[in-house]
Homo-oligomer: A and B are copies of this chain.
Amino acid sequence: MPELKILRQYIQDHNMRNTPEREAIVGEIFSRHDHFSAEDLYQRLRGSSLSISRASVYRAIPVLIGAGLISRVFTKNGQAFYEHIYGHEPHFHLRCTSCGHIEEFMEPLLEDLPARLSKSTSFAVDRYRLEALGRCPKCQKKAAKSRTAKRE
């Protein structure tokens, strides 16, 4: 479990304390490969032997981001979603503006974007977040005239 190693190292380096709660959270996150919100995590961990509070889940998130284990990828209806990034190829998200369906995709062109941007701008860029918005195949077919404007 390299992700646990990373967590422990990060915690040690930052004079924090490791706890079973944090390890359980990391374990749960890396047990699947999907996008999750803080609430999702909380619900999944409620069932576990070690029932973890919402507060601890919320407090763990910035720690894991700091450790480079997860990253916030998008916001949906005011709720933040994350994904684990360790051992995960860089990629971006295609989001259907009609049904909300999300797919991951990689465009080779973008592979070394951070390095490229670090050269062409004054920022030291270390990562990026790209979200492409459009219609998924299903919603293209439906092609119903939408009469209502949804937020986003």
Contacts and interface: CB of A to CB of B under 8 A. Distances in A.
Contacts of A129: 129-133
Contact of A72 (B121, B132, B152): B152
Interface residues of A, number: 47
Given A63-B149, A65-B149, A149-B63, A134 B130 contact: no
Contact of A151 (B65, B109, B122, B150): B65
Interface stretch (A1-9, A17-25, A47-55, A135-143): A135-143
How many copies the complex holds: the figure is 2
A152 B65 contact: yes
A114 B131 contact: no
B65 A94 contact: no
Contacts of A114: 132, 134
Given A107-B120, A114-B132, A127-B133, A147 B75 contact: no
A62 interface: yes
A117 B131 CA distance: 11
A35 B113 CA distance: 24
Contact of A133 (B14, B78, B121, B126): B126
